[in-house]
């Protein structure tokens, strides 16, 4: 299935070697439900989400989605440049708007075998050819989710959520309520 991204505003900041680390850690730590930590050996920032730990590497972007889940997310620099437009400088972040573009997606409605197979086929079609060697329908039914290799780390796709293939073929899971706010099915 296909959808287009709606033009939603976000707050964003690029993580560089000149970033004020203490300020970023305090800002990211303001969401008490998602602990943040700094990995000194790599210089990466990590946020523990319900679906897995996501990693921000130097040069990539932090976004705050104030109009959806009010959480912080990380985005690859090149993808950010292709999919966001600058609007205005603000206090700690700058305001950007998401550009309109088309994506492919699949609904992961439940743990029935046909729905699991639909998701696994979508992942394979996106170029992740070894998915069936790593995850079977039986394993997914037992644990209750599909593991998704994203640009920011391994995340869990739960029943009732949506899996999106982005503009560069990258995969990322999205809660259904956030998908409905950010995308329009075409």
Per the domain annotation, does 73 fall within a domain? yes
Q: Which of 62, 78, 98 is the last residue of a domain?
A: 98
The pLDDT value given to residue 132: 78
On the question of pLDDT at 92 being above 90, the answer is no
Report percent pLDDT > 70 for the chain. 100
Give the per-residue SS3 of the chain.
CEEEECCCEEEEEECCCCCCHHHHHHHHCCCCCCCEEEECCCCEEEEEECCEEEEECCCCEEEECCCCCCCEEEECHHHHHHHEEEEEECCCCEEEEECCCEEEEEEECCCCHHHHHHHHHHHHHCCCCCHHHHCCHHHHHHHCCEEEEECCEEEEECCCEEEEECCCCCEEEEEHHHHHHHEEEC
Same-domain check for residues 156 and 114: yes
The pLDDT value given to residue 69: 86
Same-domain check for residues 64 and 19: yes
Q: What is the mean pLDDT of the chain?
A: 94
Per the domain annotation, does 164 fall within a domain? yes
Per the domain annotation, does 1 fall within a domain? no
Q: Which of 98, 115, 145 is the last residue of a domain?
A: 98
Residue 54: domain span: 7-98
Report percent pLDDT > 90 for the chain. 90
Q: Which of 61, 76, 98 is the last residue of a domain?
A: 98
Closest CA to 60 of 77, 36, 46, 48: 77
d(CA 37, CA 120) in angstroms, rounded, equals 32
CB count in 10 Å sphere of residue 8: 15
Per the domain annotation, does 115 fall within a domain? yes
Q: What is the pLDDT of residues 128-158, one digit of tens each?
A: 878 878 899 999 999 999 999 999 999 999 9
Per the domain annotation, does 80 fall within a domain? yes
On the question of pLDDT at 167 being above 80, the answer is yes
Same-domain check for residues 179 and 131: yes
The pLDDT value given to residue 115: 97
Mean pLDDT of 95-106: 95
The pLDDT value given to residue 129: 76
Q: How many domains does the chain have?
A: 2
Same-domain check for residues 24 and 91: yes
Q: What is the pLDDT of residues 175-186, one digit of tens each?
A: 999 999 999 999
Per the domain annotation, does 27 fall within a domain? yes
């Amino acid at each position: 299935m296909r959808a287009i991204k709606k033009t939603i505003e976000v707050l964003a900041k690029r993580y560089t070697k000149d970033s004020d680390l203490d300020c970023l850690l305090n800002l990211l730590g303001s969401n008490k439900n998602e602990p943040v930590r700094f990995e000194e050996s790599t210089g990466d920032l990590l946020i523990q989400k319900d679906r897995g730990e996501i990693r921000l590497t130097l040069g990539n972007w932090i976004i705050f989605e104030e109009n959806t889940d009010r959480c912080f997310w990380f985005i690859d620099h090149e993808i950010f440049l292709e999919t966001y437009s600058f609007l205005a400088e603000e206090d700690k972040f700058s305001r950007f708007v998401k550009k309109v573009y088309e994506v492919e997606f699949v609904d992961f409605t439940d743990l029935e075998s046909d729905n699991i197979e639909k998701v696994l086929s979508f992942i394979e079609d996106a170029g992740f050819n070894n998915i069936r060697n790593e995850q079977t329908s039986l394993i997914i039914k037992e644990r209750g989710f599909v593991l998704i290799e994203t640009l920011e780390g391994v995340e869990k796709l739960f029943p009732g959520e949506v899996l999106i293939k982005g503009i560069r073929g990258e995969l990322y899971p999205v809660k259904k309520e956030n998908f409905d706010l950010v995308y329009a099915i075409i």
